[in-house]
Each structure stands twice: as C-alpha cells, then as structure tokens.
Amino acid sequence: MTFQHRRQSDCCRIDYLYRPEMNHIIMQQYPWGHSRRFNDFPSHFRRLFKQRVQKISIDAGFTCPNRDGKLGKGGCTYCNNDSFNPTFCDTEESITQQITNGISFFMAKYPDMKYLAYFQSYSNTYGQLEHLKKLYEEALSYPGMMGLVIATRPDCIYPELMEYLARLSEKTYIMIEYGVESHLNPTLERINRGHNFETSVKAFEVTAEYGIRTCAHLILGLPGETHEDMMEQARVISQLPVNNLKLHQLQIHRGTVMAAQFRRNPESFHLFTADEYTELVTDYLERLNPGIVVERFISQSPPEFLIAPKWGLKNFEFVAKVEKRLKERDTWQGRLFSHE
C-alpha cells in the first residue's frame, strides 16, 4: 500500500510518498524539477546544456547613453564597472583574445567545459547593428562557444537588433540581461538611472515577443526603499516575462557618486548585515514566481573598490545561508506567489 500527503500553497506543491518496500518517506521534487528550495541557476544550466557551461566575461569597449551625453553624464550613482569586471577583460585585446584568457582561467579545473560569451561591461547593445554583429559573431565563432549573454539597458534595444538576435536564438543560446535595478520611478530618478520602470516592462515584453531569453538585474536596499517596497518588487517582477533573475545587495563602491553621498549623509543609507540580507532574500523568494531561475543573490567586489558593507562572504557561502534559512522556516521559492 502507498499513501501520499500533499502540502499545498498558492503556487506549488510538495508531495511526500511513503513506500513500504523502502520503509522511508521520499520528498518529491519542487516545480522546478529538483529538491533544492529555490529554482537555482546551476541546476537549470545542467538540465539545459547536459554539461558544465561557464560564462566568459568580455569587455567590448561599450559605453552607455547615461555617460556619453545622450541621456546624461556621469552614469548611475552606484556604478563603477571596474568593481565587477574580471581581470582577464582588457579592451585593448580582441574579443577572441579575451575569450582565450578567460578560458585559461577555468580550463585547468574543468578541461571539458563549454562556454557562453558574456558581454558584460556597460550597455552591450548600444551601437549600430553592423558593429554589434561583428563583435557577437567573432565571439560565436570561437571553438566550444554555446551562445551569447548580453548585458544592457532596457532603453538600448531597437527592432533591427531584436530581429537579428531572434534569428541567432533559433540556432544558439541567446540571453539579454536588463539592468532594471528598481521598480520604483522615484528610486530610478534618485540613482540617476535615466529611464523609468515602464521602459523596463516594455523591454521585457518586446524581448519575449521575439522569443529571446531575459534576465533582470535588481538591487535590494537602494536608498529610500522599505521592506514592503522590496516585497512588492518581487510581486511585480513575477508578473513579467522574466526568465532569470540576479539580485544584488546595495554596495558602496569607491569612485562613485553614491560614495560621495554616503560620506555626506550616511544615515540616509541602510546597509544590510549578512544575516539581515539573508532574511530579506528569504522573504523575497517566498513571493517570487517559481518559474524564474535565480542566478545569484549577492554581488562580490574586489576589496580595493568596496567601501561597505564588508561581509567577507563568497557567493556559495551566502547561498548556503539562504538555503539554511529556507529550511529553518520550512519555506521555498514561490510559497506566497500569486498570479494576480
């Protein structure tokens, strides 16, 4: 005899099956197809590619319209691209050489790995189509390259580019990462983002219409935003055609406008402790659409760039904290998610 107990929430179910012949209870999979309590990126990639795949960061020398004067100068108040650009990226080297440098960084440990070219720094669709095609196709021609990941702003796409990327996506992996940062227009204005949230919504909708994968970047803890704001953000993002999500804790980096603001008025910032942020991320995950793949919870910066907060945690260590807290609270991604 077999019995089944169902634990039901608004969006997902965990089934427990008792099998007498095995004399123990087996926890069935969550909606994303495995037993981890959130829809994690490594598991998603293993299912998608059937092997280990690594993004290789490329700096192709782009700028953005919020720096070159088209929309503004100085960029977003938090932005210092050097704080996340790997050391093997060098704009004086070709795309091919940067990929070679990046692969050499990983090859010793994973000799059979395949790769995605990650156009990371600044706005990597901000240019004429012929120039973009030349860069993208140089990357795709590299042996073992499985596709492109292109980071950009939601106000830096246009129909001819989307048509081209849609054609590419029929034969290789293509993802566009959009810097959204916040769903609140007053926050976007405060950080000098140069576009509103409606622009982000339109970009996700248009990209989905072309059948291209998307990833949203969001910063938790921007000045003026409350816990309730961030929970509402999880609800709002969950209604959009977003495939993947990258969360970042607010960090203050040297050489930014925000660093000067922090020195002048530190009381206007709330910088989370690691434990506070763990609890926030757990709350956020509960409300997040379970169909969204979570790529990361935190960003890491070289010590020479980081003013605060200084947690001393690597990505995998923070993931372990989140998983521990999810288990302690007996919760999971999407437990409180609603389609409304």
Structure tokens at 267: 């009381």
Binned at pLDDT 50, 70 and 90, residue 71 comes out as: confident
Q: Are strands 173-181 and 213-220 parallel, antiparallel or unpaired?
A: parallel
Q: Domain locations in the chain?
A: 1-30, 31-328
Selected residue with higher pLDDT from 163 and 29: 163
DSSP structural state of residue 223:
T
Structure tokens at 325: 């807290």
Cα gap 215→219, rounded to integer Å: 13
33-37, 51-55, 57-61, 71-75: least confidently modelled range: 71-75
Question: What is the CB neighbour count within 10 angstroms for residue 17?
Answer: 14
On whether the CB atoms of residues 116 and 53 are closer than 8 A, the answer is: yes
What stretch of H or E contains 246? strand 244-249
Cα gap 65→73, rounded to integer Å: 8
Cα gap 269→250, rounded to integer Å: 9
Average pLDDT for residues 265-294, to the nearest whole number? 97
pLDDT above 80: residue 13: no
Q: Are strands 306-308 and 252-253 parallel, antiparallel or unpaired?
A: antiparallel
Query: What crossing angle do the helices spanning 129-140 and 159-169 adopt, rounded to 10°?
Result: 20
Q: How far is CA 180 from CA 154, 305, 319, in A?
A: 7, 23, 22
Binned at pLDDT 50, 70 and 90, residue 69 comes out as: confident
Structure tokens at 313: 């945690």
Phi and psi at residue 302, in whole multiples of 5°? -60, 140
Structure tokens at 6: 């169902």
Residue 68: predicted pLDDT: 81
Residue with tokens 């288990």: 327
Which has the closest alpha carbon to 37: 288, 221, 317, 229?
A: 288
Binned at pLDDT 50, 70 and 90, residue 307 comes out as: very high
CATH architecture of 31-328: Alpha-Beta Barrel (3.20)
Q: What is the rounded radius of gyration, in angstroms, for the C-alpha atoms of the chain?
A: 21
Strand-pairing partners, residue 293, are 244
pLDDT above 90: residue 189: yes
pLDDT above 90: residue 106: no
Claim: this prediction has a pTM higher than 0.85: yes
**Residues with Cβ within 8 Å of residue 246, at least 6 apart in sequence:** 177, 215, 216, 217, 218, 295, 296
Cα gap 43→190, rounded to integer Å: 37
Residue 67: predicted pLDDT: 86
DSSP structural state of residue 305:
T
Which is it for the CA torsion 171, 38, 284, 78, positive or negative?
Answer: negative
Phi and psi at residue 293, in whole multiples of 5°? -80, 130
81-90, 201-210, 257-266: least confidently modelled range: 81-90
Residue with tokens 């901000």: 126
Question: What is the CB neighbour count within 10 angstroms for residue 321?
Answer: 19
